[in-house]
Structure 1
Amino acid sequence: MSPQETAPQHPADRPRVAIVTGGSRGIGHEAVKRLAADGYAVVIGYAGHREPAEAAAEDITAAGGRAVAVQADVADEQQVAALFDTAESEFGGVDVVVHAAGRMYLAPIAELDLAELDTLHRTNIRGTFVVAQQAARRIRGGGALITFSTSIVGLALPAYGAYSASKGAVEALTLILARELRGRDVTVNTVAPGPTATDLFLDGKDEETIARMAAQPPLERLGTPADIAEVVAFLASPAGHWVNGQRVRANGGIV
């Protein structure tokens, strides 16, 4: 049976449930906090940073919300299936999936270690595909899948060849899945942040390089993870449900 035939529906009076991969740090972590503040029950997916993921779940629970942290390699289909199983067993289903997990290696194309290329693509491409498969099968009507690209796909800065190529693949996958899920009342979009103050972006860069990249038109400033989380919250909400199959450029807002 096709996903269109098997997709569960979401009663209007039932609390919404979100899965956030890469939820222990950076944009994913801010998305976890923002969605929890909006009343979502949140499954915090993480790969290696157990302590901040569990701390986030504890903070949400202490504040009266619902959250659980689950370790999962996004490129492992069994672990990702278990992540979705947890959302269904703990909270009753899945309404929103925010796929923020990713890797970045920087090097000129001529110099990039192909082992690093394989690792990057395993997480960024295969991982996105694996998460998207489960999302397509399990998100309830009225829900949303939000993936992450990057402004670098358009800016084409040197040393970002492998990373940009992987995110270009994410954009293509996102657009096609949006069309495949047509009629399901499920939106599928990718957010393409500009330079954002995360560990992934800041690592290995000096202040001059960061400032120069942030000033590239049309970005013009260094965003924060909280900025991007606001965009995620909008796309996850009923108010953002008219946006589908789009590359949403974001650097503190939709531009």
Structure 2
Amino acid sequence: MPPRRNSSSLVSSFMNVMRPLNGKLGIPTEAPYSKKFASSSVFLPTTSLIGKVAVVTGSGRSTGAAIAKCLGEHGASVVVNYVTDAHSADEVVQAILAQGKGGAIAVKANTATMEGGQLLLDEAIKKFGHIDILVLNSGIMGSRTLAEIDENFFDQHFDTNVKVPLFMAKLAAPLLPSPGGRIVFFSSTLTTTSTVQSNALCYVATKGAVEQISRVLAKDMGARGITVNTISPGPIDSPLFREGKSQHIIDSIAKQSPFKRLGEPDDVAPIVAFLASQAAQWINGQNIRVDGGFAV
């Protein structure tokens, strides 16, 4: 039996191992695994997006606008997408340009259609020459029960929320850097919360589909060093969320949050910017619920 060592000798031995040697910790150099980040520090991979180009669907206002401006603040050049409100989109562009870090353009494209999705990517390449980040934020959220839905309502939701985002990811895949490309899908905490209403049938079905698409693509595109993740916000105070709801219903939903409020677009945007960065290079295939604990 080896001799028993007291606690003081154990501490002394540990400190001898950990004592700096020539400015480095005295850890054996023959460690079996070593990971080097491309940033200036092993411990602080960068969150800078300088030199990156991001395409954000539905970014002329609300959450998409907040995401576009946040990406621009981190240094990215951003393609701001809108359908009807050119003025709001131009305000987003001007806000990004005023930051003096990245460029920005506004592109009118209906991303509820395949043609619109293709146009948006084409304009990004034409202006900036490449694409690094694809944020699939655009979507619709109709409210009808099973008895009320028809084929057109169903098709609108699946075309806008599932089909076009999927095929935009397919079109962007060969354009994204390998490694280093980023794709961010958008879902909703309604896919898991027990407070889901019966009139959310088509919306929640599309978001469930998005989550599974993202999960599978993470395996597929991860082989090329391209990460694919999903952001699932809780209730966000936006025109899309407020549509068709009385103030009483909105207040009731807000009270279900531990913070007793609705989320804001600026609560979501920094998470997208992080996922787009090098610092998130080992986050892949994840569904990140940005809801303040709404669905806990």
Normalized against structure 1, the TM-score is what?
0.87
CA distance in 1, matches of 2:212, 2:131: 24
Equivalent pair of 1:224/1:252 in contact (CA under 8 Å): no
Question: Aligned to 1:142, what secondary structure does the other structure show?
Answer: coil
Greater mean deviation of Cα atoms: 203-212 or 229-238: 203-212
Match of 1:82 in 2: 119
Q: 1:232 aligns with which of 269, 272, 276?
A: 272
CA distance in 2, matches of 1:150, 1:35: 21
| Alignment deviations for residues 160-202 of structure 1 (CA, whole Å, 9 cap, x no partner) | 1110001111111111111111221111011110011111001
After superposing on structure 2, the runs of 4+ consecutive aligned residues of structure 1 that deviate more than 3 Å are: 11-14, 75-79, 214-221
Match of 1:146 in 2: 184
Q: 1:181 aligns with which of 221, 245, 259?
A: 221
Greater mean deviation of Cα atoms: 76-85 or 127-136: 76-85
Shift of 1:218: 7.6
Greater mean deviation of Cα atoms: 88-97 or 99-108: 88-97
CA distance in 2, matches of 1:122, 1:218: 34
Shift of 1:222: 1.2
Q: Which runs of 5+ in 1 are unaligned?
A: 1-10
Match of 2:88 in 1: 52
Match of 1:17 in 2: 53
Greater mean deviation of Cα atoms: 74-83 or 45-54: 74-83
Structure 2 residue 171 is the aligned partner of structure 1 residue 131: no
CA distance in 2, matches of 1:89, 1:16: 15
Q: 1:158 aligns with which of 173, 185, 198?
A: 198
Equivalent pair of 1:117/1:162 in contact (CA under 8 Å): yes
Higher percent of residues as helix: 1
Shift of 1:62: 3.8
Question: Aligned to 2:180, what secondary structure does the other structure show?
Answer: strand
Question: Aligned to 2:222, what secondary structure does the other structure show?
Answer: coil
Greater mean deviation of Cα atoms: 213-222 or 233-242: 213-222
Determine which structure has more spread, i.e. the larger CA radius of gyration.
2
Question: What amino acid sits opposite 1:20 in the alignment?
Answer: V
Match of 2:235 in 1: 195
Normalized against structure 2, the TM-score is what?
0.76
Query: With CA pairs under 8 Å and 6+ residues apart, which has the higher RCO, 1 or 2?
Result: 1
